[in-house]
Amino acid sequence: MKFLTIPKNGASWQQPLVYAVELGASDGSDAHVEIVDADNSSIASFNVYGKSSFEVDISPYIRDIADVAPVTSKIALSRSNAAYKIVVRVNGVSSEARIYYREELDVETPTILSSVKERAVVSSHDTIRLTIYAKKKVSITIHKIGKVVMSRSFHIMTNGLPVELVFPLSQEEDDITSVNIKIVMDELHTHDLSYRVIQQVCKGVQTVWYNTMGGVESYTFPRCKLISCEAVMKRGRDGQERVAGKEYLYTLYSAYEVADELARIGQIPFADNLYVDKGGTCHSVQLVTRKIDLGDTPGGKNLQIEVKSRKKLK
């Protein structure tokens, strides 16, 4: 038994991922196929009967489990959920491991999968989140500048999988004025980011989603309006109605943004899932509609969305 062809490393699991297998029996044979991930956890298994050779497309099995969710942590650099390292086994014989991403990725070039600016502005209550790809290793040094300057360093071996940085500013002192982040990928590629921290008396609502490359994105809506609170009723055995839970309906209003930033946050209605970050912990919210309402004034444009949540956003 041998693998005739396997997909290339870095291919997209949203496209066909076809493995061609030759069993070596001219009169046909049976095969047991297993699809496992990097942790040797089973994704799927099935049998093929009476074949001397066959092809199998594993992309539907990966799409069934693909649910990129934010890393929840106080402060950490850890493996992202944006890619899968896959091994296919046929009658106990394993293929070479391949890593598949949301979109095809050049695995020879370390990169930041999130949208980044070398100089950005964040709220003092925000969480800085980044998804980074490197072949072997990512090292990050964070300088927090306030009344005192403090530094923290993180290192992680990637094994070709993307990693995610979580740095909640809400865990830091209120006097913080800026954050500088130095990212070193595979000890060769360096990227320097600088965040100016704005102190906010009223907290905004920081939303989190993933772009088409599987990079984490975030945006803080400065204005949040609670439209209604819905009580969900259920009837008990005694026939009495009781409140089973509450759902809160909000309208979120962005600031008036330039065209590039409006295009970035305009990804939100098309994202698979949307989350709200509170101090590094994310909880899921539901988009009520997949509609972008762009307010248009002489001063610029802003984006408005409606979300439903089982938790209060503020």
Cα separation, 279 vs 74, whole angstroms = 7
pLDDT digits (tens, 9 = 90+) for 110-157: 999 999 888 888 888 899 999 999 999 999 999 988 888 889 999 999
Residue 195 maps to a domain: yes
Residue 77 maps to a domain: no
Cα separation, 38 vs 40, whole angstroms = 5
Decide if 18 contacts 7 (C-beta within 8 A): yes
* Average pLDDT value for residue range 187-210: 88
Decide if 127 contacts 72 (C-beta within 8 A): no
Q: How far is CA 271 from CA 195, 207, 233, 244, 303, in A?
A: 25, 12, 30, 29, 15
Q: How confident is the model at residue 255 (pLDDT cuts 50, 70, 90)?
A: confident
Specify the number of domains making up the chain: 2
Residues 8 and 155 in one domain: no
| Residue 124 CB contacts under 8 Å (≥ 6 apart), including other chains | 169, 170, 174, 176, 197, 198, 199, 200
Q: What is the largest CA-CA distance in the chain?
A: 78
Residues 39 and 172 in one domain: no
Residue 288 maps to a domain: yes
Residues 138 and 255 in one domain: yes
Element (H, E) at 242: strand 241-253
Query: Does the pLDDT of residue 215 top 80, yes or no?
Result: yes
Residues 131 and 196 in one domain: yes
Decide if 142 contacts 150 (C-beta within 8 A): no
Residue 132 maps to a domain: yes
* CATH code where residue 37 lies: 2.60.40.1930
Residues 134 and 196 in one domain: yes
Give 99-165 as a DSSP string: EEESS---TTS-EE-S---SEEEEETT-EEEEEEE-SSEEEEEEEEESSSEEEEEEEEE-TT--EEE
Residue 94 region by backbone torsions, left for phi larger than 0, else alpha for psi between -120 and 50, else beta: beta
Cα separation, 34 vs 40, whole angstroms = 10
Residues 32 and 133 in one domain: no
pTM over 0.75: yes
Query: Does the pLDDT of residue 172 top 70, yes or no?
Result: no
Bridge partner residues of 179 (DSSP):
144, 195
Domain that holds residue 67: 2-72+84-101
Cα separation, 228 vs 300, whole angstroms = 28
Bridge partner residues of 198 (DSSP):
123
Residues 136 and 280 in one domain: yes
pLDDT digits (tens, 9 = 90+) for 24-73: 776 678 899 999 987 788 999 999 998 889 999 999 999 988 877 787 76
> What pLDDT shows up at residue 27?
62
The residue behind tokens 């296919």 is 88
Query: Does the pLDDT of residue 183 top 60, yes or no?
Result: yes
pLDDT digits (tens, 9 = 90+) for 284-312: 999 887 666 666 655 557 888 999 998 88
